[in-house]
């Protein structure tokens, strides 16, 4: 892959060489370039055979396509065949994590020196999308790679990064983050978990967390706790808590409406003794760190929402073309065709906005309010499309063996976690009136 400096150097050399060319030669060179540009043009999903087709979308290139093929093959071959087994177990096999690590699907944006691929956010987005296209919601890769790992990479000490990140990139370690509590979800100020400092400089961690994705399998968990309760949200710190620490226990794997293959657990901390080596970043800076990382979390939820909508739409398009009623395919009915037209229009509008957000994020320009808009757009769309597609399947859409039914159930939580959509609207409105 050429770096920006190499590309700029080659462009300058080409321009310099042209200064001595005849006008005819320059015209021929320009025409050839235009031809190459035409060949390289990438269509958008609204103009393709299927919205999930490879080789589309101008924010990506051929190298992204090759990576996407790897990701698509992984989810098709390593996840889809095992989904039923994982749903019964309430968690994904560790072997699936190790295989994902082997293929470079974990920690895409993590520096190579810590075991990652050192790629831009577009590569991470490809993994989000391909998982959503597969409708395999079990593996908690996005949270692991693009929420937990960035916290450690951005705020961790050299010792923390060099010890933990390579194991997370390989899939040997699974990561989780514990913010939500039984009585405090979006309201971080209401957090009750504390990590109070002892006279010897250690911390005593006490409290509980709930709805923790990857909670049952996690080897390392970022725990949010108050180190200075009197300071409210500005007294929050982040700690790295590892499996096996005395006083750290996992509760039951929670029974959920959807995402049944993804482990979601309660965590309990009773006088867990932590040292400075467990502190992630600076004491009492946790709230600031959380605010800095939220745009990526909300973007990945939004992008997975739109990708899931695209996948469910394509399933439904195939279904209504094959399913017959009154002696004709359902798609022969105008009301069905118009519903498909409405859904595709909505999806393509959302895809355009989300792709713009991915582009902004890849250059570090995605702000919190825009990321919040993305989450509302992506997850509201996902819910609408899944609901309408269940309706288009009729009674079969209500049967659990049909992918559209599972997609409806799995997608419902998207409007809740990562900050509820109601909270997102509050964030957006504050930016408007500021």
- Catalytic residue numbers? 297
**Cβ neighbours of residue 275 closer than 8 Å, sequence gap 6 or more:** 201, 202, 203
Rounded (to 5) percent helix, strand, coil in the chain = 60, 15, 25
Structure tokens at 44: 């958008």
Dihedral Cα 71, 414, 161, 228, nearest 10 deg? 180
Is residue 233 within 8 A of residue 189, CB to CB? The reply is: yes
Kindly report the CA angle at 280 between 279 and 286, in degrees rounded to 5? 105
Cα–Cα distances (Å) from 290 to 206, 228, 286, 324, in that order, read: 20, 17, 6, 51
Cα–Cα distances (Å) from 2 to 14, 136, 227, 292, in that order, read: 16, 34, 46, 30
Residue by residue, DSSP assigns 120-134 as -HHHHHHHHHHHHHH
Is residue 185 within 8 A of residue 220, CB to CB? The reply is: no
Q: Give the chain's end-to-end CA distance (angstroms, integer).
A: 42
Q: By three-state DSSP, how is residue 40 classified?
A: helix
H/E element holding 176?
A: strand 175-178
**Cβ neighbours of residue 219 closer than 8 Å, sequence gap 6 or more:** 167, 172, 173, 174, 175, 242, 243
């Amino acid at each position: 892959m050429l770096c920006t400096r190499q590309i700029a150097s080659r462009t300058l050399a080409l321009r310099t060489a042209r200064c001595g060319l005849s006008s005819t030669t320059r015209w021929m060179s320009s025409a050839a370039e235009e031809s190459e540009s035409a060949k390289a043009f990438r269509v958008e999903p609204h103009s393709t055979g299927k919205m999930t087709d490879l080789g589309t979308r101008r924010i990506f290139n051929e190298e992204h396509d090759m990576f996407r093929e790897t990701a698509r093959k992984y989810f098709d071959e390593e996840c889809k065949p095992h989904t039923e087994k994982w749903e019964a177990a309430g968690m994904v096999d560790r072997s699936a994590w190790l295989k994902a690590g082997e293929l470079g699907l974990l920690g895409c944006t993590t520096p190579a020196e810590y075991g990652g691929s050192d790629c831009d956010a577009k590569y991470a987005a490809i993994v989000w999308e391909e998982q959503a296209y597969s409708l395999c919601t079990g593996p908690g890769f996005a949270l692991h790679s693009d929420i937990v790992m960035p916290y450690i990479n951005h705020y961790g000490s050299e010792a923390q990064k060099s010890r933990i990140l390579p194991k997370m990139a390989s899939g040997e370690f699974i990561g989780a983050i514990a913010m939500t509590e039984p009585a405090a979800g979006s309201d971080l100020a209401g957090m009750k978990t504390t990590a109070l400092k002892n006279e010897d400089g250690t911390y005593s961690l006490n409290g509980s967390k709930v709805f923790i994705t990857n909670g049952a399998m996690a080897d390392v968990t970022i725990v949010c706790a108050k180190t200075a309760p009197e300071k409210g949200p500005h007294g929050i710190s982040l700690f790295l808590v590892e499996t096996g620490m005395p006083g750290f226990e996992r509760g039951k794997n929670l029974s959920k409406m959807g995402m049944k293959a993804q482990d979601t657990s309660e965590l309990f901390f009773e006088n867990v003794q932590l040292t400075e080596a467990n502190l992630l970043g600076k004491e009492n800076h946790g709230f600031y760190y959380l605010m800095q990382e939220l745009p990526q979390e909300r973007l990945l939820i939004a992008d997975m929402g739109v990708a899931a909508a695209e996948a469910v739409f394509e399933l439904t398009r195939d279904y209504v073309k094959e399913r017959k009623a009154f002696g004709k395919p359902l798609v022969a009915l105008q009301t069905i065709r118009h519903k498909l037209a409405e859904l595709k229009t909505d999806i393509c509008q959302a895809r355009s906005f989300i792709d713009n957000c991915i582009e902004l994020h890849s250059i570090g320009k995605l702000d919190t309010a825009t990321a919040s808009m993305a989450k509302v757009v992506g997850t509201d769309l996902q819910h609408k499309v899944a609901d309408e597609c269940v309706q288009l399947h009729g009674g079969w859409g209500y049967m659990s063996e049909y992918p559209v039914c599972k997609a409806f159930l799995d997608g419902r939580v998207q409007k809740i976690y990562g900050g509820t959509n109601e909270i997102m609207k509050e964030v957006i409105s504050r930016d408007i009136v500021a």
